[in-house]
Structure 1
Amino acid sequence: MNSPINVSTLNSQIKSLLETTFIQVYVEGEVSNLTYHNSGHIYFSIKDQNSTISCVMFRGNTKYLKFRLEVGQKIVITGNITVYAPRGNYQLLCNKIEPSGQGALALAYEQLKTKLEQKGYFDPLRKKTLPKYPKKIALVTSATGAAIEDMKKVALHRWPLVEFILIPTLVQGEGSAYDISNAIKYADTLCVDIMIVGRGGGSIEDLWAFNEEIVANAIYEANTPIISAVGHEVDYLISDFVADVRAATPSNAIEIALPDINEHRMYLDSLRNEYDNLFKRILFNKEQDIINLKRLFEQNSMESKFKFIESEIKLLKSSFQSNLSQKIIHYENEIEMLVKTFKNNYSQNISKLQNNIDLLKNNYELNHPNKKDKNGFVQISKENKIISLDNLKVGDTVSLQSPKYIATCVINNLKKQ
């Protein structure tokens, strides 16, 4: 009978047997019990309808994992079996993980795209407007690639007034995503008008740095308007969705960023022609206004008025001369009639006045005080007023006056003869 072995020996033999037998396995299953540990290791299980096996992927291999594991996801693992002897547990040590039925990069792309879209990175309302006439443009790209030369060539013919600031950047390979992110952050501090981030064409692996979340975050957080210009027209990268504007190629980015100097030249020519036509039209209208004003001035000038007055005077003079003799004769006849009328009226007035004077003279002579002394003649007055005998009444007190005497009397009897 063989002697028994201890548990540690048994586990060691099992470990040696399993790890030497299952050096590399290629297994498919569904993810469950997923844990992303703070140490950077990933612990999970894969299962099918009947069985489950524990799995681990250490931090050294997780950096090559292009997508994020999710519970319920079907994956294909390349790895080996390892045994943890102190507990007698065995697990699948994962060296490489691929999504089942689709490429890892494609899945990682869709996962990150969905994540960033949910965070609002693609929202059109947050995208910045490109300035119409940029003076400085930062180019975040490789200093040795064909993209930089293409962009310079297009800019030279399109708008040579622009100034480029090249930020030499690693655009593919290990560490390129971090380099692109840092270059974007640095370019954002340079007070440029536009930033173009991109590179020329290549495989999906070559362009992958522009699908990294760290690059998307740098683009999203930048204050400078950014044009994403990666690969060819058919290539759509995460940076294209996050950037303010997507360009099909680096050359197209320059076409988008810069105005076309030839279009502006044609526009200036059209403006010049329009200005010339407008200027000529204004000059013609002003010239017509001056001509009309000159005519109006000539019609209303003092000289024209004097001429008009002179002609009127001549006309009046001729008319006056023609009518003068008739008017003189008429006036002479009127004067003669007036003279005759005046003489007649004068004679009549003189005669009338003479008659009045004669009457007054007779009355005066009749009433002269010297004639009052005749016998039988006295002046009758009442209350110091001369009164006629016809105006007296019985009882009136009157004065009888002659040149020498005044007698006061009372009328006792008054009879009319």
Structure 2
Amino acid sequence: MNPISVTTLNTQIKSLLETTFMQVLVSGEISNLTNHSSGHIYFSIKDENSTISCVMFKGNTKYLKFQLENGQKVQVTGNITVYVPRGNYQLLCTKIEPDGIGSLALAFEQLKTKLQAKGYFEQSIKKSFPKYPKKIAIVTSATGAAIEDMKKVATNRWNLVELILIPTLVQGEGSVEDIVKSIKFADRLNCDIMIVGRGGGSIEDLWSFNSELVADAIYEAKTPIISAVGHEIDYLISDFVADARAATPSNAMEMALPDKTEHLLYVDSFINEFENRLKNIFQTKENDLNSMKKLFMQNSIEAKFNFIDAQIKLLKDGFNRTFYQKIDLFQSSINNLKQNYILNNPENKDKTGFVQISKENKIISLESLEVDDILELQSAKTIASCKIISLKKQK
């Protein structure tokens, strides 16, 4: 047997291995991970008993949807190759998938965890939205259904707003860079609100909004941003970073704009309330005015003069009534005196054979006289003194 060189041996081994293991699918745990400045990725995969070196060249890393980490369990697709100068063999990787979870789901969770740690999701940094926006920038496709839905909602809901469309590539190659550029451009327009999003689609279609570059652009923007990507069930990284998440693009416009119908109803109710309050104020003031007028009339000079005049009239009537009552009383007394005078006038009483008997200036009866009494006999014109000589009383 003739000897061969080491190079020949390694070359033969390389040929044998590469033709025998043209494509293999190997599962194992990542270790010794190195992301080289050239863009190549070097690592090993191992199980409890063995280790194999692996390399993924830059041309294939662009298809890697998640970030490789030490300790991660993966499934590697590739072929065996031998590095002849050193006689080392390794697995040349063309595709790497997480073992047990999809690559997109893993990439989503990795980026979410990273951005959360950086504080991108903090509620304290979320910007508030103006109640009545005048200008809204929309970062989306110019040809998609999303922009038409948003225009329809804006027209029906609050047609005083100005919508500025920033035509943007929202899926496929170059979409991430275009979304970032559009967000930065829209942020310079001094709009009140920015809506970033697109209509529904597969997770691959929506994947551009799970990009860290897009997350950075949203986070750094000064304009309040609503993320409106896909349908209600779709959650993207942009939803967590933005100041608010909308279930759909139409919902984003509903969130951004007030409802003119509600405001018209409010204006109607306000008008009614204003009219009722004004009516109540006028009614109250009218009642107060009437009360003041009545009080003024009661306390006016004229009312006081009328009151005094009425009091004078009452006093006058009372005086006249009392005066005439006194006059009548005096008149009645005079009449009585006159009548008594007439009845007691001696001239009217003077009759032939009749005299008045008085003793010691007191009128007495004839029956009270005794013998030897001195008495006076008086008529209307004559007074006679006499003495009783005898008395004879009849039985």
TM bucket, shorter chain: 0.7 to 0.9
| Aligned match of 2:187 | 188
State the AA in 1 paired with 2:51: T
Return the offset for 1:8.
Answer: 2.0
CA distance in 2, matches of 1:136, 1:234: 29
Separation in structure 2 between the aligned mates of residue 45 and residue 324 of structure 1, nearest angstrom: 141
The amino acid that maps onto 1:283 is: F
Q: CA deviation at 1:308?
A: 2.9
Letter in 1 for 2:164: I
Alignment of 1:355-370 (within 5 A): none
Whole-angstrom CA distance in 2 between matches of 1:192 and 1:43: 47
Q: For the residues of structure 1 that align with 2:275 and 2:30, how far apart are their CA atoms?
A: 77
In 2, Cα distance between the equivalents of 1:135 and 1:61? 47
Which residue of structure 2 aligns with residue 365 of structure 1? none
Alignment-derived partner of residue 249 in structure 2:
250
Structure 1 residue 97: Cα displacement: 0.6
Aligned partner of 1:99: which letter?
P
Paired residues, number: 326
Q: Give the C-alpha shift of residue 73 in structure 1.
A: 0.9
C-alpha displacement of 1:200: 0.3
Give the equivalent residue in structure 1 for 2:85. 86
Paired residue type of 2:81:
T
Q: Residue 33 in 1 paired to residue 23 in 2?
A: no
| Post-superposition offset of 1:15 | 2.2
**1:106-121 aligned within 5 A:** 106-121=105-120
Aligned to 1:234: 233
2:176 partner letter: A
Give the residue type in structure 2 aligned to 1:136.
K
The corresponding residue for 2:129 is 130
Secondary structure in structure 2 of the residue aligned to 1:259: coil
Which one is further off, 116-125 or 27-36?
Answer: 116-125
User: Secondary structure in 1 aligned to 2:177?
Assistant: helix
Q: CA separation in 1, counterparts of 2:173 and 2:128?
A: 33
Q: Distance in 2 between matches of 1:322 and 1:165?
A: 101
Q: Cα deviation per residue 1:317-362 (whole Å; 9 max; x = unaligned)?
A: 666788999xxxxxxxxxxxxxxxxxxxxxxxxxxxxxxxxxxxxx
- How is 1:301-340 mapped onto 2 (pairs within 5 angstroms)? 301-315=300-314
Deviation at 1:281, TM superposition (A): 1.0
Q: Which runs of 5+ in 1 are unaligned?
A: 326-417
In structure 2, distance between residues paired with 1:30 and 1:286: 88
| Deviations 1:83-122 (CA, angstroms, capped at 9, x unpaired) | 2211111211111110012210011011111111122211
> How many percent of aligned residue pairs carry the same amino acid?
73
Distance in structure 2 (CA, Å) of the matches to 1:103 and 1:272: 60
Counterpart position of 1:59? 58
Q: Which amino acid aligns with 1:23?
A: M
Per-residue CA deviation, residues 3-31 of structure 1 (Å, 9 max, x unaligned), is: x2222222222223322332222211110
Match of 1:171 in 2: 170
Q: CA deviation at 1:197?
A: 0.7
The residue number in structure 1 matching 2:99 is: 100
Unaligned runs of 5+ in 2: 325-395
SS at match of 1:173: coil
SS of 2:156's partner is helix
Q: Distance in 1 between matches of 2:317 and 2:200?
A: 107
- Distance between the aligned counterparts of 1:87 and 1:175, measured in 2? 40
| Partner in structure 1 of residue 159 of structure 2 | 160
2: CA distance between counterparts of 1:201 and 1:128? 26
SS in 1 for 2:171: coil
1:156 maps to a residue whose letter is T
C-alpha separation between the residues in 2 aligned to 1:235 and 1:213? 17
Secondary structure class of the residue paired with 2:92: strand
Give the structure 2 partner of residue 334 of structure 1. Answer: none
The AA in structure 2 aligned to 1:173 is: G
Which residue is equivalent to 1:292? 291
User: How many Å separate the matches in 1 of 2:60 and 2:17?
Assistant: 22
Provide the C-alpha distance between the structure 1 equivalents of 2:302 and 2:171, rounded to a whole number of angstroms.
93
Distance, in Å, in 1 between the alignment partners of 2:108 and 2:320 is 117
* Partner Cα distance (1:246, 1:290) in 2: 59
Amino acid at match of 2:80: I
SS in 2 for 1:206: helix
Per-residue CA deviations over 1:210-249 (Å, capped at 9, x if unaligned) read: 1111111111111111111110011111111111111110
Deviation string 1:285-309 (CA, Å, 9 cap, x unpaired) is 1111111111112112222233334
TM-score, length basis structure 2? 0.78
**Deviation of residue 44 (structure 1)?**
0.1
Could you tell me which residue of structure 1 aligns to residue 17 of structure 2? 18
Q: Does the residue aligned with 1:105 lie in a helix, a strand or coil?
A: helix
CA apart distance, 1:139: 0.5
Letter in 1 for 2:70: V
**Residues 253-280 of structure 1: per-residue CA shift (max 9 Å, x gap):** 1111111111111111111111111111
Q: Which residue of 1 aligns with 2:5?
A: 6
Cα distance in 2, alignment partners of residues 263 and 18 from structure 1: 75
Which amino acid letter does the alignment assign opposite residue 157 of structure 2? R
Distance, in Å, in 1 between the alignment partners of 2:82 and 2:142 is 50
CA distance in 1, matches of 2:102, 2:316: 120
Alignment root-mean-square deviation, CA: 2.0
Q: State the match for 2:203 in structure 1.
A: 204
Tell me which residue corresponds to 1:42.
Answer: 41
Match of 2:383 in 1: none
- SS of 2:4's equivalent in the other structure is coil
In structure 2, give the amino acid aligned to 1:74: K
Q: SS in structure 2 opposite 1:205? A: helix
Moved more, 76-85 or 98-107: 76-85
Corresponding letter in the other structure for 2:216: N
Measure the CA separation in 2 of the matches of 1:42 and 1:101. 22
Which residue of structure 2 lines up, in the alignment, with residue 413 of structure 1? none
Q: In 2, distance between residues paired with 1:182 and 1:5?
A: 61
Q: Distance in 2 between matches of 1:281 and 1:308?
A: 36
Cα distance in 2 for partners of 1:39, 1:127 equals: 38
